[in-house]
Amino acid sequence: MSGYHSNLKKGNEKDAVDGSIMLMQLLQNILAQVAPDGPESKGKKINIDYSGKDQPINVRTSGASAVFGNPWTVKGVLKRKKEDLVEYNMKFEFTAGGDNKLLWELSGGLGVKKLEPLKNSMSLEGWKIFKIGPYSKKSRSGTIYDYGARELESGVPTIGILREDLVAAKKIPD
Pair 19, 69 in one domain: yes
Pair 59, 96 in one domain: yes
> What distance in Å separates the CA atoms of residue 67 and residue 38, rounded to the nearest whole number?
24
Pair 125, 103 in one domain: no
Is the entire prediction scored with pTM above 0.85? Answer: no
Boundary of a domain, candidates 111, 137, 154? 111
pLDDT lower than 70: segments of the chain: 1-8, 11, 41-43, 154, 171-174
Pair 98, 130 in one domain: no
Model confidence over 133-164: pLDDT tens digits? 788 888 899 998 887 778 877 678 999 998 88
CB of 162 closer than 8 Å to CB of 129:
yes
Instruction: Give the range of the structural domain holding residue 161, as residue numbers without chain letter.
Output: 115-174
Q: Which helix (H) or strand (E) holds 4?
A: helix 2-6
Pair 134, 163 in one domain: yes
Pair 104, 46 in one domain: yes
**Number of independent structural domains in the chain:** 2
